[in-house]
Each structure stands twice: as structure tokens, then as C-alpha cells.
A and B are shown apart, each in its own frame.
Chain A
């Protein structure tokens, strides 16, 4: 429930940043599933090694929307190398914490970013960096069990 959501979570839920899609995105990542109640889809535009633009679409609870919004803010305008180091903990910290039952949303946010980066490498025909490997298994118990 809303109880336990920080001001920052509430702000990012009420006014999510970078909502939408990117035409001709260089990388698209989608994780989660509707049966579990959250899906995140992240679109990246990459110029050189910089993430020049990013958008997201999310089906999910308040925390899912807020973590998507925060994760996109944290990688926008940043070099790929930095985005590869994004962790769910960093997203949680940037939001001033999440209730324990909502931590899996931050895991999804991290995984959505990494899935989008993996897609970028694949499209380019380049080897996918190890950091992208932790994709959502689709099994929610993996995060919240």
C-alpha cells in the first residue's frame, strides 16, 4: 500500500519522468509479466557511447512506476559504462527507500535497463556484456518469494 512510500516515490509516481516510447530506439528491454502484476519496457537512444535519450512504459503499482521513472533519470545522458553499473540498490537509495514488499520493483527496473542495453549490443552484432545477463526469469518468486 501507499503506506511507507517516501516523498520521492510519491513524486516520481505522481509526475513520472521520461514516460513514453522512442521511435527507432537503439535498444528496447522488456521484463516482468502481467500475471505477476508488473511489466516494464525501456527504450534507449544511444549516440556514440552516451545514452542520449530514454523512455519507459510500465504496467504496475506505484513503486513500479516510480522505480522506472528514477532508473531512467539515473541513466539519461550517461555513458553506457555507467548504466551497466546501475543496481537496484542505487535506485532504491535514490528514492529514499522502498517498503520491503516493493523491492522487487527496483530489481525489475535494473533488469529493464540491462535488457535494453543487451538488445542494443545484439542489434549491433556485438557481444553482450556480462552485466546485462541478470534478466528477469519471469518467476516472481525469484525477487519476492
Chain B
């Protein structure tokens, strides 16, 4: 098989060796149920407790503040609906979020709106960054929750989380962050950053799929999301997915060890791609702030062409990428993230997202930069939009 260059790590990552090494023995022999009192059960309970401690340590939390879930989406749903319910019980039915959250957040907020909540979505501006003073101005006496993503999944921009946390703390409002793209990639300390709730997903940092966690600060009352047994301190019923939990803990520890050095190498490849594309291909726009972005995120619009055909052409060259075009979003509109940063639809259709990671090499980048200009000009040559643009410019 021809070599595949995987540059879609924001969608999912490969299952790393650390995760596999942790999971396989659990799958093979530690099949006990952590709720059972016999020795096999207790062995499993020990593994579970150990994994919880290790996940907590990676984000500066306490073990009893970690709840294992099926992933980022469940964590987001749980955090937001439960805090909204708690707010409503006190007559507070206003929530602040941003226009470019993941659908796990936005669709949950939409449902709450139908149930009588008011939602304020903060502007994320052209650079894809929330302004803290605009958050302050949006706070009302009945605000019961602020939920702002740590880093955006499409354009990679990193939000001023510690500052947002400080404002929320000052006002006594619980602060949740969807940190699915950040955990394992950026240093996180829930204490220093005043984060009250945080969602994470293992498969974004070389852990297995279908497992994640919700961090919920002690003192914030979390009501049950899934009724059942006494698992997760009575909050989430259902026998724990122990192999995946152990894989997640190992993957997260591995991701957090040596993060700084790895980030530097990945960011250098990211910057090389962005710089060379901007230099060598006309009519492109880099989406999102150049500095405050995830080390592996490249997001560029190529005017005059459509993103899906661009990513399919890259696929023919063995490069796996993604796009925010309507054709890939499954709706008529291009990505809500690109529209939120003010891109016109016709330009947003031509977006390309490349998300790199430590498994990518400079040779991968060489290959990408070799084929990309030709693919773009080939698609532009057959594009009536491009023809029109060139006519107007001459």
C-alpha cells in the first residue's frame, strides 16, 4: 500500500503504543467488574482508581473530580444540561457561550433554548478569539453557566481560558470548557485557570475511541446523567469501560510528558506549511490567529475552489485532510466556525484543514507542499468562479 500521510488528527488520532500496552492486558486478563467484591473485581477496582488518579493529575485535578464518560460529546451534554438545571432551580436561566463551539455544545444549548433558557453567543471576531471584556458585559444576574471551548476544533484558536475562569469566579458563575482539542496538546491546570468543569476525549490524544471524562470541581453539584448502578460515585450508571479507561490514562500521561518539546516540533511544521502556502499560492486566507493556535492546526481558504474536491484530490495523493465546505458538513451551509469568524460563504466553501501531530515528518510536509500548488491550480483552471475573479482583476 502507498504511504498514507495522515493530517487529520483533530478528527481522531492513531491509537498510541502507550494506550495499547495499557489496554491489552486489561482486555486479556483483568475482566473483573470493579463493583464486584471478589479479588478479580478488586483488582479491576484498583486499576480504575489508579487510572482516575493519573487522569486527574494530568490536569491538576483531584481523583474524585473525574467522571469517566463515553467521550467529549457526553461530557459536554452532561455538564451543560446539569448546570442549566441547577441554575433553573434558582431561577437563573441565562447561559453564555460562543458562536463557534462544537455541535455537542451548540445543539445542547439549542435544546435548552427551546426549554426556556436564554443563550448569549459571544462573537469570536476575525481572529477566532473571544474577548474577555465582552464576556464581562454579557454577564447578567441570572447567568447560570459560561461555557467556552478551550481551543477550536476547526481553526485551532486558543481562548483566554484563565482570564475567563477568573471573571466567572469573581461573579460566582460556574465555568465549563470543552477542552477536547486541548487536553494532551496544551498544558492545563484547572486550579490555576479557575476551570470548574472540563470535557475531554481520549481519541484526540492517541487513546481509544468511545472514552472520555468530565472534570467537575468539588462543591459543584453534578446530578445523575445516566441512572443505574453506583458507578462513578452514583453519578453515571453502567459498568465501567475499564480497558478504554486504562488506555486513556496511559495515553494522556504519555501526551503530557514531553509536551513542550513535541509541540515545538509540530508547530514548526505547521508554520512551514502556512508560510509556504501563503508565499506560493495566490488568493489564500489563513483562518484564525497565527500565534494563539494549536501547535498542529493549519486552516486555509483557497478562493475560487471548493473544499471537498480539494480534499479528495489530496486523498488521491495519499494525504488525509478535512474541509469546512458545505459538502463535507452535510448541510447547505459551510462550517459555522468559518461563518462565525466572518468569512463569506463562497470563500468558506474553499477551506482546507490540516491537523498535524508528532507522527508527521518534514518529509510529509515536503510531499504536501509539492502537490498542493498543482492541485489548487488544477481545480482553479476548471472553476468558473476563478475565471470570473481573474476577469474582474484584469
Asked if B35 is at the interface (CB within 8 A of a chain A CB), the reply is: no
Which residues of B lie under 8 Å from residue A58 when comparing CB positions? 382-384
A65 to B384, CA, bound (A): 12
Asked if A62 is at the interface (CB within 8 A of a chain B CB), the reply is: yes
B383 contact from A14, A59, A141, Cβ within 8 A: A59
Asked if B272 is at the interface (CB within 8 A of a chain A CB), the reply is: no
A58 to B304, CA, bound (A): 10
Those of A1-33 within 8 Å (CB) of chain B: 1-2, 13-14, 16, 19-20, 30
Q: Are B306 and A37 in contact (CB under 8 A)?
A: yes
A60 to B381, CA, bound (A): 13
A47 to B313, CA, bound (A): 36
Q: Are B306 and A59 in contact (CB under 8 A)?
A: yes
Smallest beta-carbon distance B285→chain A, Å: 15
Q: Are A19 and B382 in contact (CB under 8 A)?
A: yes
Interface flags for A53-77 (1: CB within 8 Å of B; 0: not) read 0001111111111000000000000
Q: Are A34 and B385 in contact (CB under 8 A)?
A: yes
A145 to B346, CA, bound (A): 19
A40 to B384, CA, bound (A): 7
Asked if A36 is at the interface (CB within 8 A of a chain B CB), the reply is: yes
Those of B321-361 within 8 Å (CB) of chain A: 325-328, 330, 332, 334, 344-346, 349
Asked if B21 is at the interface (CB within 8 A of a chain A CB), the reply is: no
Asked if B316 is at the interface (CB within 8 A of a chain A CB), the reply is: yes
Q: Are A61 and B332 in contact (CB under 8 A)?
A: no
A24 to B101, CA, bound (A): 50
Q: Which chain B residue lies CB-closest to A30?
A: B384
A58 to B75, CA, bound (A): 42
Asked if B386 is at the interface (CB within 8 A of a chain A CB), the reply is: yes
Asked if B122 is at the interface (CB within 8 A of a chain A CB), the reply is: no
A16 to B313, CA, bound (A): 12
Asked if B305 is at the interface (CB within 8 A of a chain A CB), the reply is: yes
Smallest beta-carbon distance A69→chain B, Å: 10
Which residues of A lie under 8 Å from residue B346 when comparing CB positions? 34-35, 37
Which residues of B lie under 8 Å from residue A2 when comparing CB positions? 308, 311-312, 315
Contacts A58-B384, A59-B383; A144 near B306 (Cβ below 8 A): no
Asked if B309 is at the interface (CB within 8 A of a chain A CB), the reply is: yes
Q: Are B308 and A61 in contact (CB under 8 A)?
A: yes
Contacts A34-B346, A37-B326; A14 near B304 (Cβ below 8 A): no
Asked if B387 is at the interface (CB within 8 A of a chain A CB), the reply is: yes
A19 to B378, CA, bound (A): 11
Smallest beta-carbon distance A15→chain B, Å: 10
Which residues of A lie under 8 Å from residue B307 when comparing CB positions? 61
A98 to B305, CA, bound (A): 21
Asked if A38 is at the interface (CB within 8 A of a chain B CB), the reply is: yes
Interface flags for A130-145 (1: CB within 8 Å of B; 0: not) read 0000000000110011
Q: Are A62 and B309 in contact (CB under 8 A)?
A: yes
Smallest beta-carbon distance A120→chain B, Å: 18
Q: Are A57 and B382 in contact (CB under 8 A)?
A: yes
A57 to B381, CA, bound (A): 8
Asked if A45 is at the interface (CB within 8 A of a chain B CB), the reply is: no
- Chain A interface (Cβ within 8 Å of chain B)? 1-2, 13-14, 16, 19-20, 30, 34-41, 56-65, 101-102, 140-141, 144-145
Q: A36-B345, A61-B307, A62-B327 are in contact. List 12 more A-B contacts (CB 8 A).
A: A13-B309, A16-B382, A35-B345, A37-B306, A37-B327, A39-B385, A40-B384, A58-B382, A58-B383, A61-B306, A61-B308, A101-B327
Q: Mind listing 5 A-B residue pairs with CB under 8 Å?
A: A2-B311, A13-B312, A39-B384, A57-B387, A58-B382
